Chains A and B, each alone.
Chain A
């Protein structure tokens, strides 16, 4: 199986930072074509259905029509093929539907980007090369009040665009989880990041002592990851409060017609706090994902330890390979007597 480490596009999109130009152009495969791909997978499922029916017909040939040992072998063989092909049909249908649904996710994302672009143009931000560009970082010292107001309003518009863009990305990612789950369920393929969490549970021949040590280690890791997630949430809250305070101060300065240097310095503070906050949010989300994963591993390790203690069979989480059985050379069962 080809290993897919982490999706390249998802990694690239993590690099968007406040102050960067914001991409507002949909440049992936047209959602309609993804939809057609899903349709072709479902059409294949419909054709596999014909084979399912044909296998069933052979497997249910009556004794009146065909009897004897050869007939029994033929019926058994057709019965096995019927079950295998029905599973393939169900998996194709399930994945086809998930691809159709994913095309809607991409369509909504494209529409969101179009709206974002429209908003940016409407607020007077510079939109060039399919990107929304940030306003100038500093104002000249002799800028008028009107210029300072316009500059502040531009930054607020840019901030709204930035946040909308992050929300669009996050919404798309959340909706993509269904596709990734369908791929794991129906086709047995996993992104490596997810798969890595499953591999330890698939290890067999584990001794009781090892299970106990593993369970203890996993529990410790889960507690540490939980603490890290709490700390990351605390950082985000603190930064959010500081940003609010700094924004309030900036507003007060504008209202009090403070000198441009002071406005500029305060705006820089707000901007730097916002950057920190965006980074802290990303770190918090990562820490939460790690904490959830560690907790799941700890739960699983505890269950395995409990099962081993109770003498129950060890459950293997890894999906079994669903390769249809290929006829063995020399297997007379496949040659109808």
Chain B
């Protein structure tokens, strides 16, 4: 397996972009106001726009789930330092144990 290299800043920036795109997209979805008054081909037009709006909603959901996946990949180095420190202390303690 290749070594894992993680640039937290790059991952955080990617996640923030996904979150921000999702917010903007959700706001634009709320702005779509299907016309109520009649005109030729209104029903077909509203049906067509509705199906694309559903696709755009799916894009917003994808932003959310992918941002979650990125978030899961970001390692909290403070937490990691603490865990490594604890492990070192435990190992030092083990060295002093006489079998």
Q: Which residues of A contact B (CB under 8 A)?
A: 1-2, 4, 7, 9-10, 28-29, 33-34, 37, 40-41, 43-44, 46-48, 50-51, 53-55, 57-58, 61-71, 74, 77-78, 81, 84-85, 88, 91-92, 95, 99, 102, 106, 172, 176, 179-180, 183, 186-189, 191, 322-324, 326-327, 334-336
List the A side residues contacting B56 at CB < 8 Å.
44, 47-48, 88, 92
What's the dominant secondary structure at chain A's contact region? helix
**B residues in contact (CB < 8 Å) with A:** 1-7, 10-11, 13-14, 17-18, 20-22, 24-25, 27-29, 31-35, 37-45, 47-49, 51-53, 55-56, 58-60, 62-63, 65-66, 69-70, 72-73
B14 lies within 8 A of A50 (CB): no
Question: CB within 8 A of A33: which of B3, B5, B35?
Answer: B35
Chain A residue at smallest Cβ distance from B43: A4
A84 near B59 with CB under 8 A, answer yes
Which A residues lie within 8 Å of B38 (CB)?
9, 28-29
For this complex, 29 residue pairs linking A to B, each with C-beta atoms less than 8 Å apart, are A1-B47, A7-B44, A29-B35, A34-B35, A37-B34, A41-B52, A43-B28, A44-B29, A46-B28, A50-B20, A50-B24, A51-B21, A54-B20, A57-B13, A57-B14, A57-B17, A58-B17, A64-B7, A65-B10, A66-B10, A68-B3, A70-B73, A92-B52, A92-B56, A179-B45, A183-B48, A186-B48, A189-B44, A336-B72
Report the minimal beta-carbon distance from A15 to chain B, rounded to whole angstroms: 15
Once the chains bind, are B1 and A186 in contact (CB under 8 Å)? no
Q: A41-B32, A43-B31, A77-B69 are contacts. A58–B48 as well, Cβ < 8 Å?
A: no
B40 CB contact (under 8 Å) in A33, A66, A95, A176: A176
Asked if A66 and B35 make an inter-chain contact with CB atoms under 8 angstroms apart, the answer reads no
> Once the chains bind, are B21 and A68 in contact (CB under 8 Å)?
no
Residues A324 and B40 in contact, CB atoms below 8 Å apart = no
Q: Which residues of the other chain, B, contact A326 by a CB distance below 8 angstroms?
A: 58
State the CA gap A332–B11 with chains docked (Å): 20
Whether B58 contacts A66 by the Cβ 8 Å rule is: no
Q: How far is the CA of A180 from the CA of B41 in the complex (A)?
A: 8
Q: Chain B at the A interface: mostly helix, strand, loop or mixed? A: helix
Q: Looking across the interface, which residue of chain A has its beta carbon closest to that of B6?
A: A66
Q: In the complex, A47 Cα to B56 Cα: how many Å? A: 9
Asked whether, in the complex, the Cβ of B1 is within 8 Å of the Cβ of A51, the reply is no
Q: Evaluate contact between B28 and A47: CB separation under 8 angstroms.
A: yes
Which chain B residue lies CB-closest to A180? B41
